[in-house]
Amino acid sequence: MRPSSRIPGSLAPNSLATVRAKLGRPVFDLTVSNPTRCGFTYPPDLLRPLADPRGLVYSPDPRGPRLAREAVAATYRHWRVEPDPADIVLTASTSEAYGFLFRLLADPADTVFAPTPSYPLIEHLARLDGVAVAPLQLDSDDGWRLDRTSFASAPETTRAVAVVHPNNPTGSHVARDDADWLASVCAERGWALIADEVFLAYPLDEPPAATFAAETRCLTFVLGGLSKMVGLPQLKLSWIVVCGPPAEVADALEGLDYIADSYLSVSTPVALSTGGLLRAAAPIKQAIADRCRGNLTSLRSLSAELPAVTVPAVAGGWSAMLRIPTVIDEEELALDLLERRGVAIHPGYFFDFPGPGWLVVSLLPEPHVFAAGAAVLLEELDRRVREL
């Protein structure tokens, strides 16, 4: 891994603009993570709920307006769970939610386990709060299931375990028996469990997985938000569902009240419009899901005649992986594709894959853009394999 090069998110927009200007033709951005830039048609009246006149009155609640928390609780009916709105805390973003939880659960130099490979966010947020991150390894040879030996030498300073369900970019769910084992370990050792479920509403190769929002064995925090739930990253609202043993839940909510009350970061108009936004944006959520499935099918079809390249199963999310020969330098390939062919992809080391030979592409681009960019990528891979 090259730590200095590991940048969270897509390749820098300025670099794409520079390449576009240099090439004089469109860049096929297969790293895009913002659905509002991917040609989806948003309902023209989508933002109408923001005009609710109640948004003119400031009546702060550390957990956010109850009306919004009720709307969030109702979304879990899809998974046959309905949390008590009193056990939900609203935040401005999932990143802020992580920050609140690190401050609640850990002191500086304490430890949180987080999955690897994964999107490089948790470790950066933890570092901002002085919290150490230990790797919870995902086993590439076992469908990216949790490696249960990860906790063999867990430090005494461990306070929590974070999972991303489904993971970004591996797309792997936490298997049911792994979830049971993890909850038992956390309960036994007094650790909290943080379940990031921002992509849970987007199943791909597998049926929808169960949410952690019904967990009762250990103190559990389930994260979600408008950004991924309905493709609205510009309307900043996320949430923490707190569940587990009642006494621990009560203590955690008291601590979160103190932290959230110090920030009061949630916008009242956005919070009050949560129910309306969730209803109005449902077609966008479906369109994103259909797009991701379609592009994944396209990628597999295009790669079918290249035995040296495989597209592993993806349980859910907005990304796909390509397994390529390890002798191909993934960073050199990514840079060459961007500078010479105008195709942007992510090399696997951005996400701490266990070794070379991994590429990651977004499934969000418009189908013609995705197919064209994927065709160029696979053509280049085929050429390099033939030269080996």
Which one is predicted more confidently, 388 or 173?
A: 173
Q: What pLDDT digit, counting tens, does each position of 79-97 carry? A: 999 999 999 999 999 999 9
CB atoms within 10 A of CB 298: 17
pLDDT value for 39: 95
Query: With the C-alpha atoms ordered 347, 126, 91, 13, is the resulting torsion angle positive or negative?
Result: negative
Token pair of 366 as six digits: 């418009």
Per DSSP, what are the bridge partners of residue 320?
361
Q: Do domains 3-41+282-387 and 51-280 have the same CATH topology?
A: no
Per DSSP, what are the bridge partners of residue 193?
161, 220
Q: What pLDDT digit, counting tens, does each position of 100-114 carry? A: 999 999 999 999 999
CB atoms within 10 A of CB 39: 14
pLDDT value for 13: 46
Average pLDDT (179-185) is: 98
Q: Is the pTM of this model over 0.75?
A: yes
pLDDT at 24 over 70: no
Cα separation, 136 vs 122, in Å, equals 12
pLDDT value for 4: 37
Token pair of 285 as six digits: 């959520």
pLDDT value for 27: 83
pLDDT at 1 over 60: no
Cα separation, 100 vs 119, in Å, equals 19
pLDDT value for 166: 97
What CATH number belongs to 3-41+282-387? 3.90.1150.10
Domain limits of the chain?
3-41+282-387, 51-280
Instruction: Kindly report the length of the chain.
Output: 388
What CATH number belongs to 51-280? 3.40.640.10
pLDDT value for 20: 52
